[in-house]
Amino acid sequence: MLTKKMYSWLLGTLVLGATLQSCTRTADDGGDDTGSQLVELTGNLTTQTLTADKRYLIKGQVFVRSGQVLTVQPGTVIYGEKRTKGTLVIDRGGRLEARGTASQPIVFTSNQSVGDRDRGDWGGIVMLGNAGCNQVDPAIEGIDPAVHFGGNPANTRSSTTAQDNESSGTLEYVRIEFAGIELTPNNETNSLTMGGLGRGTKMEYIQLSYGGDDGFEWFGGTNNGRYFISFNMWDDDFDVDFGWSGNVQFGVAVRYPSYADQSGSNIFECDNGPNDNDVQPYTTGTFSNITGIGPIKTGTSISNGNFQHAIDLRRRTAVSILNSVFTGMPLGVRMNQASVVAQYLTAGRGVLANNIILTPNNANAFLAGSGVVADSVRNFWNRTNERVDGPASDAAHTTLGINPDLIFGSRTDQQYGSNPNFAVTSGTIATGASFTHPKFSEANRTGIFQTVTYRGAFGAADWTDTWAEFNPVNRSY
């Protein structure tokens, strides 16, 4: 017969066992194959620190709500669960402090087994803030129930200086792999989705690989960043919208021939809004020193017709791109509407300067949409940019300054080196950069951009060394 004391002890033991079971799980259906325990992250998280001596599983939609801080130690590995479409959402007022190092990057990856990981395995990271955007209290794509971002609680497009300067945390030496997925019809998360982030948010040395939708996508906000890698995305690499006005320097995109979205995949896809309405603030974000590498290594054709433009400018956008290089995409630069032409040719809000593009098919170098003629795009580009005539070839890329081995061509994704060399020591793009354009002297841009001599993302040093990984499918964590 159980005494009262024995019964209490037995009940406490059962409760403790159940509690431990709910917090951890084995890695039988993904992650590494060591059978180690995974600490589950579910629901609304309170302020806490994830440590490198444990492994974590994002299960379903996981939220860091206002006032809470999620800190991640260097070297920590966090898995996103495929079955529940695991997604990490940093809500307005919450923070993610993920500060890795070059020798100990932080890795967010799929919980599928080594060799079985694929794009769209989980939902990725969504970070939201209160900085300005040109929509009224918008909700971010793909999350249900809805979470909102930007502006202020009064449901206006305005934002205060404090909101535009706020921090939603830090991402530094972070890899996000196999993320981005359609969670509901026509609502997708990306590898890294940013909505209304303030310029106090720090983002440096971030690699996105095998994304199921876009790589870096900005919906409004003022945040800056540098040293970005977009590798083997499904849709676009750099996608901006809703009045984003921040700055990015040093970014590289590398495309694989078989991975492209039916909506059309671009290196840059830039919008001002979901339609062509005249809403402000305009999308005036500024990029410098970007290297965009499409899948065409030689010749002019490509097997996947869903690949489109190096730069696609749409619906009143006024994004600026300077000191950058593009190659390997079947189509060049497109201005889609007359409203885009007005932003660049008339108002001068958008700038394309000191860039160089190699277009495999010269007839597709400059394109235009409704109410626009291609010659206007051509003439605008030729004023302050350069173009190299195709077709693409190893010799043309070497002359340009891009190592031909960086371009997939006919290779499979598993034939790409895990640590490719992006350094540029000679060629056309080794020089030619300029930082004298008035765009660099605008408010909130002064002092942001480093002055370098080379165009594209790389000079003699390859900043992807030691922390980046270009064969994550087979990487054992």
Per-residue pLDDT reduced to its tens digit, 89-133: 999 999 999 999 999 999 999 999 999 999 999 999 999 999 999
d(CA 283, CA 193): 16
Domain that holds residue 236: 37-474
Backbone phi, psi, residue 380, to 5°: -65, -45
The answer to whether residue 293 is domain-embedded is yes
Residue 193, strand partner residues: 126, 217
The answer to whether residue 128 is domain-embedded is yes
Q: For the residues 176-205, what does the mean pLDDT come to?
A: 91
The answer to whether residue 23 is domain-embedded is no
Residue-level pLDDT at 184:
65
Q: For the residues 427-451, what does the mean pLDDT come to?
A: 96
d(CA 303, CA 1): 76
The answer to whether residue 157 is domain-embedded is yes
Residue-level pLDDT at 260:
74
Does the pLDDT at position 161 exceed 60? yes
d(CA 149, CA 201): 15
Contact 287, 251 (CB under 8 A): yes
Q: For the residues 246-256, what does the mean pLDDT come to?
A: 97
pLDDT digits (tens, 9 = 90+) for 327-378: 999 999 999 999 999 999 999 999 999 999 999 988 899 999 888 999 999 9
The answer to whether residue 284 is domain-embedded is yes
As a whole number, the mean pLDDT across the chain is 90
Q: For the residues 297-302, what does the mean pLDDT come to?
A: 88
Domain count, the chain: 1
Q: DSSP letters along 304-354, please?
A: -TTB-EEEEE-TT---EEES-EEES-SEEEEEEEHHHHIIIIIS--S-EES
pLDDT digits (tens, 9 = 90+) for 255-277: 998 887 888 789 999 999 999 99
Instruction: State percent of the chain over pLDDT 70.
Output: 91
* CATH assignment of the domain containing 330: 2.160.20
Contact 413, 256 (CB under 8 A): yes
274 preceded by a cis bond (ω within 30 of 0): no
Contact 197, 177 (CB under 8 A): no
29-33, 78-82, 411-415 — which is least confidently predicted?
29-33
Does the pLDDT at position 402 exceed 90? yes
Does the pLDDT at position 12 exceed 70? no
The answer to whether residue 4 is domain-embedded is no
Q: For the residues 459-468, what does the mean pLDDT come to?
A: 98
Instruction: State percent of the chain over pLDDT 90.
Output: 79
Residue-level pLDDT at 36:
63
Residue-level pLDDT at 185:
62
Residue-level pLDDT at 155:
67
The answer to whether residue 26 is domain-embedded is no
The answer to whether residue 8 is domain-embedded is no
Contact 315, 337 (CB under 8 A): yes
